[in-house]
Every structure is written in structure tokens, then in C-alpha cells.
């Protein structure tokens, strides 16, 4: 299936860029006429994925975060957030609620939050090469929310 529109964004893994990434992706989604709730879901999921890159992929350095957003017919949106950081040794373990490698004030709920706000979450990772998180959101739009 070919996208009807797509965008790419590259940012540095600085915490100040997380807000920009989430707003940029949400603004791009506007073409599908999402509800306010759907926009907030997108922002939250993107925020979690980008924050994971900042905190976990590049813990002691500033690296690049690559974001690709593709819009498809019938309200399907795919958001791919990729880094070239340290990678995840055990993706299955990392996806467990409350698991964190950083400790401190980290709650270990990033993937759980992404899963609760998206229709599908895929995670691919290789140690020393980086991680790709793909978020799939099916947008029903404002027109659907007005139907009886």
C-alpha cells in the first residue's frame, strides 16, 4: 500500500526537541482530520518513543533521532522513530511494564504507554546499531465522532 503523504524529520537527542517532534507529527496528522483525543494519543506515543531515544539510546552522548510519518487511505498512520544508539539487548524484557535499565525516576512504562495509545507497536533493535519503533494509529476522524 502506497502512502498518500509522508514526511521525514531528523532531530538531535536533546530533551528540548521532544516537544517539537510530538507537535510536528501531530500537525502532519491533521491531514486525516483526527479528533482531539486522537491527536493527544499521537502526541503521547511519539513523546514516549522520542524520550526513549534520548534517555536510553544515547545515554552519554547526543545522537540523531530519525522520524518518518506516512499517511494512508482510510485513516491509517504509521510513525517510525529510529535511532543509531546502543540498541536493546532483550526487546521482550524491555517491553515489560516497569522494566527500566536507567533506574532513578524512570518508571519503565514507555512501551506500555505507546501500546495503550496506538493500535500496533513494533520494536526492532540490534545491540550497538540502534532501535526502530513503529507506531500504527488508525484515525477515525472527527466525522466518525459525529455519527449517531
C-alpha cell at 34: 483526527
Q: Looking at the DSSP assignment, which residues form a beta bridge with residue 83?
A: 65
Give the pLDDT confidence score for residue 147 in this predicted structure. 45
pTM over the 0.75 mark: yes
Tell me: pLDDT of 138 over 70.
yes
C-alpha cell at 69: 510519518
Give the pLDDT confidence score for residue 59 in this predicted structure. 87
Give the pLDDT confidence score for residue 108 in this predicted structure. 54
State the Cα–Cα distance between residues 69 and 119, nearest whole angstrom. 15
Q: Where are the domains of the chain?
A: 5-143
Least confident of 18-22, 89-93, 119-123, 131-135: 89-93
Give the pLDDT confidence score for residue 141 in this predicted structure. 76
Residues that are catalytic:
48, 52, 106
Read off the pLDDT of each residue in 112-129 and give the average, rounded to a whole number.
93
Q: For 24-65, how does the pLDDT look when each residue is reduced to its tens digit (9 = 90+)?
A: 999 999 999 999 999 999 999 999 999 999 988 998 899 999
Helix (H, G, I), strand (E, B) or coil at 55: helix
Q: What is the pLDDT of the chain when averaged over all its residues?
A: 87
Tell me: pLDDT of 114 over 70.
yes
Pick the CATH number of 5-143 from 3.60.20.10, 3.40.50.170, 3.40.50.300, 3.30.565.10: 3.30.565.10
Give the pLDDT confidence score for residue 99 in this predicted structure. 54
Q: What is the DSSP letter of 19?
A: H
Give the pLDDT confidence score for residue 27 in this predicted structure. 97
State the Cα–Cα distance between residues 109 and 99, nearest whole angstrom. 7
Q: Looking at the DSSP assignment, which residues form a beta bridge with residue 66?
A: 10, 82
Amino acid at each position: 500500500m502506497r502512502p498518500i503523504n509522508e514526511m521525514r524529520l531528523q532531530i538531535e537527542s536533546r530533551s528540548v526537541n521532544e516537544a517539537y517532534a510530538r507537535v510536528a507529527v501531530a500537525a502532519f496528522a491533521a491531514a486525516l482530520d483526527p479528533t482531539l483525543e486522537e491527536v493527544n494519543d499521537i502526541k503521547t506515543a511519539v513523546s514516549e518513543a522520542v524520550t526513549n531515544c534520548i534517555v536510553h539510546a544515547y545515554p552519554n552522548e547526543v545522537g540523531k533521532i530519525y522520524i518518518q510519518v506516512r499517511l494512508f487511505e482510510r485513516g491509517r498512520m504509521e510513525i517510525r522513530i529510529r535511532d543509531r544508539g546502543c540498541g536493546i539487548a532483550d526487546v521482550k524484557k524491555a517491553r515489560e511494564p516497569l522494566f527500566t535499565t536507567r533506574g532513578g525516576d524512570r518508571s519503565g512504562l514507555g512501551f506500555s504507554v505507546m501500546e495503550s495509545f496506538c493500535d500496533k507497536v513494533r520494536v526492532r533493535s540490534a545491540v550497538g546499531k540502534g532501535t526502530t519503533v513503529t507506531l500504527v494509529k488508525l484515525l477515525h476522524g472527527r466525522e466518525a465522532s459525529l455519527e449517531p
